Amino acid sequence: MSRLKYALIGCGRRGKVHLETATALKETFQVVAVCDAHYESAEKGADQIGAKPYSDVRKMVEREKPDICDVVVPVDLHHVVSCYLSECGIHHNVETGLAPTLGLMDLMIGKAKTNNIKLQTSENFPFVPVEQFVRHLIQSDAIGKVHKCYRLFSTTGYHGLAAMRCRMDAKPISVSSIGHTMPVVPYVDRVKRDFDTERLEFYTVDFDNGGIGIAMVGNKNNCLGRNTLVGFETCGERGTIVTNGNQSTIGNETINVCTDEDINQHAAKAKTYPFQREYSENNVLKRIYVELPKSLGGTIEWHNPYLDTGILEKNISLATMLTGIAQAVREDLDPLWTGEMGREDQEMVIAAHRSIQMNRQPINLPISIDLSEEERFDQRFIQRFGVHPREDLDQALAANFKAR
């Protein structure tokens, strides 16, 4: 099968990881171009892999004619690049969050549909290896039907909520939330964002299967000595799955579950079975597995489909997203995480913020577009770039943005 021509748009901190991962997927992609508003960044990334550098998206598209573009520019410009690519007939993967407002996300989704384009939200958190393994455990019925999830998350809420709804395997129907802000000493975090406050929010999400999800979200981002691990507890009728960690840190990971004997003779006291990992000689993840009693399924395992690529565990989720958009293009399937799904993730966060503003009242989903929120974004965009974000997409595309 011939490889798809891949081009990266935005070669900043996160874009470099996308480029490295796409380059490792040699049987899937031919990396033809790297585009960044700062030509030096594009040139540095392109030179490492023998691709062509560009600082103008339009010239890159015209000359290279990529099959798939990977959009990793600042979130305020996602809709600008996405709408342009859709009009050019180019399928694309867009980093999270999909766009800052519901209206802009609808614009992107509508443009893609009108032009028959595959638009994928690069929501990789549900596809971290341990998350894929946990869903495999849940689907094997090891803990019974899931009714509750608890999630402690250190940064952007939609990532954790996306993983939560995958574990719940249900549709969110309402959100309520409380929020708290405290002052901190001014600092700049690792991705060069300025902070002088710390935000903490608690979300309660009701699902259409009767289940509930509770998430704690903050902006601490590994600063001020805060706990860097995230906690995730999933409660089923027979037991509990606990995973504490993130994409680059492995924490305590167990399934705590009762056999029929435990239930009948030991007052439902669960036994703990730790997750185990097996690595290759080159320290590449081969599989994650757990050894349960035969009555609960015996050995349950997940195998890494990217073992031969040498991609490290922390980037397997991104590799899954990139191969997902490639498969969607080749086989005319829906992307792995559609634009609509990315919108639903952010809709939960927006609903949570509205709940805080309305004194913790529950907000039913779906929510309507708030025109005042759209207008506030438009004014910020005009002030920053000197052009309207919706009325003149061509000029907005030429805005001198700084990649992540």
111-125, 240-254, 272-286, 323-337: which range is least confident on average? Answer: 240-254
Q: Are residues 97 and 173 in the same domain?
A: no
Q: Are residues 173 and 99 in the same domain?
A: no
pLDDT higher than 60, residue 161: yes
pLDDT higher than 50, residue 402: no
Per-residue model confidence as pLDDT tens digits over 143-157:
999 999 998 776 668
pLDDT higher than 50, residue 123: yes
State the pLDDT confidence band at 111, using cuts at 50, 70 and 90: very high
pLDDT higher than 60, residue 225: yes
Q: What is the CATH number of the domain that holds 50?
A: 3.40.50.720
pLDDT for the residue 267 = 78
In a domain, 35, yes or no: yes
The per-residue pLDDT of the chain, averaged, comes to 91
pLDDT for the residue 196 = 87
Q: Are residues 229 and 343 in the same domain?
A: yes
Per-residue model confidence as pLDDT tens digits over 229-255:
568 999 999 999 999 865 555 668 999
pLDDT for the residue 263 = 84
In a domain, 320, yes or no: no
Q: Are residues 91 and 50 in the same domain?
A: yes
In a domain, 37, yes or no: yes
pLDDT for the residue 187 = 83
Total count of domains within the chain = 2
Q: Are residues 211 and 351 in the same domain?
A: yes
What's the rounded mean pLDDT across residues 19-26?
Answer: 98
Q: Are residues 151 and 46 in the same domain?
A: no
In a domain, 193, yes or no: yes
In a domain, 28, yes or no: yes
Q: Are residues 353 and 221 in the same domain?
A: yes
pLDDT for the residue 403 = 40
What's the rounded mean pLDDT across residues 380-389?
Answer: 92
Q: What is the CATH number of the domain that holds 205?
A: 3.30.360.10
What's the rounded mean pLDDT across residues 211-218?
Answer: 90
Which amino acid is present at 365? L
Q: Are residues 38 and 93 in the same domain?
A: yes
Q: Are residues 171 and 79 in the same domain?
A: no
Per-residue model confidence as pLDDT tens digits over 300-321:
999 999 999 999 999 999 999 9
Give the range of the structural domain holding residue 360, as residue numbers without chain letter: 145-236+339-365
Q: Are residues 21 and 106 in the same domain?
A: yes
In a domain, 272, yes or no: no
pLDDT for the residue 245 = 64
Q: Are residues 353 and 209 in the same domain?
A: yes
State the pLDDT confidence band at 399, using cuts at 50, 70 and 90: low
pLDDT higher than 80, residue 192: no
In a domain, 326, yes or no: no
Query: Structure pTM?
Result: 0.92
Q: Are residues 112 and 13 in the same domain?
A: yes
pLDDT for the residue 266 = 73
